[in-house]
Structure 1
Amino acid sequence: MQELNFPKFEYRFKSTENKVSIFDVIRKKFIILQPEEWVRQHCVHYLINVKNYPKSLINVEKELNLNGLKKRYDIVIFNPDGSIYLIVECKSHSIKIDQTTFDQIARYNLVLNATYLMVTNGLNHYYCEMDMQAEQYSFLKDIPDYTQK
């Protein structure tokens, strides 16, 4: 797999029927290892091990209803009160992050109302803070650690 722009983490792998799977510590099961999943797992470990977000507040690959369409977000971090703190959109390392990617996460945020957004392809990471009243976002150098919340 492609080396990504995240710190090194330990992963569990298994191979069945010529397919490699990686263990997801949030979903507590093995997931077939595709390029986007590789990025998602790096991001999950980054959020837990570097940014100190508790596993109990992280949700991975859940469905949301967007104007009658069923969509799936990659990663969400909740506040302890159940509101959404951060949405992460993960793309394969081979996909360039562009306006379409930001439009996608912005549409998800119309439903989810997160304070922060993160978009990554594993090589490039972008972070935004939302201003819901002004209906705009500003780019950040990084997202806050959990201890800074």
Structure 2
Amino acid sequence: MLALNFPTYDFRIKNRENKTYIFDPIRKKFVLLQPEEWVRQHVVQLLIREKNYPVSLINVEKELKVNRLKKRYDVVVYTPQGHITVIVECKAPSVRITQHTFDQIARYNLTLKADFLMVTNGLQHYFCRLDYTREKYIFLEDIPSYSR
């Protein structure tokens, strides 16, 4: 797979029936390794290893309803109290990050109400905090590390 703009991590990879799978420590199973999954697994490792978020507070690929439509978020991080603090939208490295990508994560956040958003295609990363009072994004250099 393509080298991404993340620290280097060791992944558990296996091949079966001419397909490659990567182990997801959140879902605790091997999942088909596709470009977006490659980015998602790097994000998961970043959150665990660099940002020190406990595995128990991270959730991956779950369904949510937005305006009665079923959608799936890529990664969310909870506080110990159960509030969603970070939402991450992952795209394949070949997908450009555009306003449409930000609109997508903003729609998800209407339901989830996170404090921070991250959008990445593995090569470019965007981080922002939401100012709900002024209804705008405040772009940041990074998302915060875990703190109790």
TM range (shorter): over 0.9
**Partners of 1:79 and 1:70 in 2: CA distance:** 24
Structure 2 counterpart of 1:138: 138
Q: Which runs of 5+ in 1 are unaligned?
A: none
The 5 Å alignment of 1:24-39 reads 24-39=24-39
- Paired AA for residue 49 in structure 1: R
Name the structure 2 match of 1:68.
68
> How much has 1:65 moved relative to structure 2?
0.4
Identical columns (%)? 64
Shift of 1:133: 1.8
AA aligned opposite 2:59: N
Match of 1:44 in 2: 44
Q: CA RMSD in A?
A: 0.7
- Unpaired stretches in structure 2, ≥5 consecutive residues: none
DSSP 3-state at the match of 1:146: coil
Give the deviation of 1:41 after TM superposition: 0.2
The amino acid of 1:42's aligned partner reads: H
1:127 matched to which residue of 2?
A: 127
Q: What is the aligned length?
A: 148
The one-letter amino acid paired with 1:13 is: I
Q: Partner of 1:109 in structure 2?
A: 109
Query: Could you tell me how far 1:136 is from its partner in structure 2?
Result: 1.1
Note the alpha carbon deviations across 1:30-79, whole angstroms, 9 max, x for none: 00000000000001001100010000000000000001100000000001
- Structure 1 length as normaliser, TM-score? 0.98
Q: Stretches of 4+ moved more than 3 A in 1?
A: none
Determine if the alignment matches structure 1 residue 93 to structure 2 residue 93. yes
Alignment of 1:10-21 (within 5 A): 10-21=10-21
CA distance in 2, matches of 1:40, 1:89: 9
1:102 and 1:51 map into 2 onto residues whose CA distance is 23
> Shift in Å at residue 137 of structure 1?
1.1
TM-score (norm: length of structure 2): 0.98
